[in-house]
Amino acid sequence: MLGYSIKLIFVSRRFYMSVYTPLSLQEVQAFALPYGLEVIDLIPIQGGIENTNYFLVANNQQQYVLTVFEELDEQGASELPPVLQHLGQAHVPVAVPLNYEGKFIHRIAQKPAQIAPRIAGEHPIPSNIAQVKSIAAAQASLHLALQNYSLARSNSRNHQFWTAVGESLKPVMSTEDLNLLNQVYVQFNQLREQHPDLPCGWIHSDMFRDNTLFVGDELEGILDFSELNQDDFLFDIAISINDFCTEYPEAYLDHDKLQAFVDAYQSVRSLTQDEHTCLPIYLAMAACRFWLMRLQVAQRNAQEGRIGDDIMQKNPLEMRNMLVDRLQAMAK
């Protein structure tokens, strides 16, 4: 059973960098030259699950990030750079990709890819109250900036998508995991039906600490918009609260950070009363989504023989434990 074997595989909390597409320095130099970049060094980036990423060092010592899109086709990858350009104009801190010949996306190793400036800073691990406030306000600004933005995404990972992922995993889940999955969906559907005033729009969907960069308490950049899609704003809020306000391997929320996040977010966009009421179940469902995602990635890596020191598999048990904690908190 998949649920059982994953428990054995991931207890060590070992992480890997994801380099699904190995590239030589010569390949990257040829790819970067039309951008006006002379690359002298190529460094694989630790982190990420779906895309291959490298740091590029140019001859003037400026650094860039090369992203090779493993899941998106060229059309899908081309949807994101104009969004980043729009957010940059709205003073949301993002790295706007470079372009030439009127295109942001070009191909390397027969896959779509882009180059963007590297943003200075570090991931806020652990986070402090000031950093929590900063990301919350930036997230609210992002939601407002994209509220009326016209975009049709070919890659949509909304609630219906994750529900389908859960259904696909059920045949290989243990009875205990099936009961947990059913429990969160029953409570979520009930509360969402009772409290329908839940504004939606474009959300980042993956605003974890390792997708943000800070210099001290100042937010310098929000990274990786590959999961951008339309969904309830509350999902974005819950995803970020779960990560910024939790210190692994513990699963419980730091309530001072939670309150700081909500207050800072509301300084930019006020939550509806239904959003306040539904936040606890969205915290549970957000944990559920990432539990399912990590199970799905582990399954896909096993099926495709993706193994070795260049493949990262994040621990599904972290998100399962978080889901259990969020449901238990609701029951108190």
User: What are the pLDDT digits (tens) for 231-276?
Assistant: 999 999 999 999 999 999 999 999 999 999 999 999 999 999 999 9
3-state secondary structure (DSSP) of residue 243: helix
Give how far Cα 75 sits from Cα of 104, 108, 109, 196, 208, Å.
11, 15, 17, 34, 26
What does the DSSP assignment read for 278-317?
A: HHHHHHHHHHHHHHHHHHHHHHHHHHTT--STT-----HH
**Per-residue confidence at 158, pLDDT binned at 50, 70, 90?**
confident
pLDDT at residue 157, as a whole number: 84
What backbone torsions phi and psi does residue 24 show, to the nearest 5 degrees?
-90, 160
- How many other C-beta atoms are found inside a 10 Å radius of the C-beta of residue 4? 12
- Which phi and psi angles does 150 have, rounded to 5°? -90, 115
Q: What is the pLDDT of residue 72?
A: 85
Condensed to tens digits (0 to 9), the pLDDT of residues 43-58 reads 998 665 678 999 999 9
pLDDT interval class at 76 (50, 70, 90): confident
Q: Can you tell me the distance from the alpha carbon of 11 to that of 327, in angstroms, rounded to the nearest whole number? A: 22
Give me the domains of the chain, ranges plus CATH numbers: 2-331 (3.90.1200.10)
Does 16 score more than 90 pLDDT? no
Q: Which tops the pLDDT comparison, 177 or 302?
A: 177
Q: What is the pLDDT of residues 169-196, one digit of tens each?
A: 999 999 999 999 999 999 999 999 999 9
Contact 115, 97 (CB under 8 A): yes
Tokens 């950049």 correspond to 221
Q: What is the mean pLDDT of the chain?
A: 90
More confident residue, 308 or 32: 32
% of the chain surpassing 90 pLDDT: 79
Beta bridge pairs of residue 44? 54
Rounded to whole angstroms, how far apart are CA atoms 164 and 54?
32
